[in-house]
Amino acid sequence: MESAENLAAPPARWWAAEQDCSVRCGLCPRACRIPAGKAGYCGVRINRDGRLFSLAYGHPVSIAVDPIEKKPLNRFLPGTKVLSLGTFGCNLGCVFCQNYTLSRQCYPPSRQWPFVPPEEILRLTKRENCPSLAFTYNEPTVFAEYAIDIARLARNEGVKTVLVSNGMISPGPADEFFPLIDAANIDMKGFSEAFYEEMCGGSLAVVLDSLLKLKKLGVHLEITTLVIPGKNDADEMTNNWLDWVGENLGRETVLHFSAYFPAWRCRIPATPAETLYRIRNLCRSRGFDNIYLGNI
């Protein structure tokens, strides 16, 4: 992974020193062992002389005002705008990534990146008359220190916070981050460990733990599945997923199913609209009425 020595990166949290100047990152279940001078899998947490730093802290690469429905959140502050921000980097390696220009990018070592303090994010949110701000575009877990500092300010100033995440975060950081969140859209990429292992390099069990934690905290929760033909569109998998949601989150849970398009390293043809209609019919036949289809 590329380093970015000229960026004024602040120290990261959730890591431990290991032998030979290496560090072990504890932010997400990947638990990267990072040698000196290298970055972790996400590309934004770097070992400098035996200490871990976050290149993403204070360095959003995308800030925009979006409709809240674009997150997607259909039942949280409907009709409002949300100040949205993201950085580079992701802790999953989905072969079908629809957003690889951000997720697989690193901060170029040759470029000075403007520093945007948390206070400035709040100022922009208010200037744009947004009742909420969102950690989105790339995976917010990888910039958790920054997001937590922004979310604390937002809480103090009456601005709502939105998390759009893959749910792959370790329990300690999640226990600090999630209570500062008002609404979340979490990806459930495919309801089997085999799918997560083959297609994402992640763990379904971790994502389910995150969903349970958010539900217990009373966070407004919506869940998105990108439907990939032949990989996660079988009725059996959908039925198993609905069984789990019904038992653990409730049948009133808002579920989104979106069409996939060939991207990054996946050349499977795009999801036909009929597949999404079939899934929606199945959900409705099981008593799940809050179903939204995307990308069609």
In the complex, the residues that contact ligand SF4 under the rule CB under 6 A are: 25, 27-28, 30-32, 40-42, 45, 91, 142
Using the minimum distance from each CB to ligand SF4, give the nearer residue, 106 or 266: 106
| Residue, CB closest to ligand SF4 | 40
Least spacing, CB of residue 73 vs ligand SF4, in Å: 25
Tell me if 217 sits within 8 A of 182, measured CB to CB. no
Using the minimum distance from each CB to ligand SF4, give the nearer residue, 42 or 151: 42
CA distance 32 to 48: 15
Using the minimum distance from each CB to ligand SF4, give the nearer residue, 73 or 168: 168
Using the minimum distance from each CB to ligand SF4, give the nearer residue, 144 or 254: 144
Tell me if 99 sits within 8 A of 85, measured CB to CB. no
DSSP 220-273: EEEEEEEE-TTTS--HHHHHHHHHHHHHHT-TT-EEEEEE---BTTB-PPPPPH
Q: Which phi and psi (to 5°) does residue 194 adopt?
A: -60, -40
Least spacing, CB of residue 54 vs ligand SF4, in Å: 9
Cβ count near 213 (within 10 Å): 18
Least spacing, CB of residue 181 vs ligand SF4, in Å: 18
Cβ count near 20 (within 10 Å): 8
Least spacing, CB of residue 59 vs ligand SF4, in Å: 15
Using the minimum distance from each CB to ligand SF4, give the nearer residue, 91 or 258: 91
Using the minimum distance from each CB to ligand SF4, give the nearer residue, 84 or 166: 166
Least spacing, CB of residue 142 vs ligand SF4, in Å: 5
Least spacing, CB of residue 183 vs ligand SF4, in Å: 23
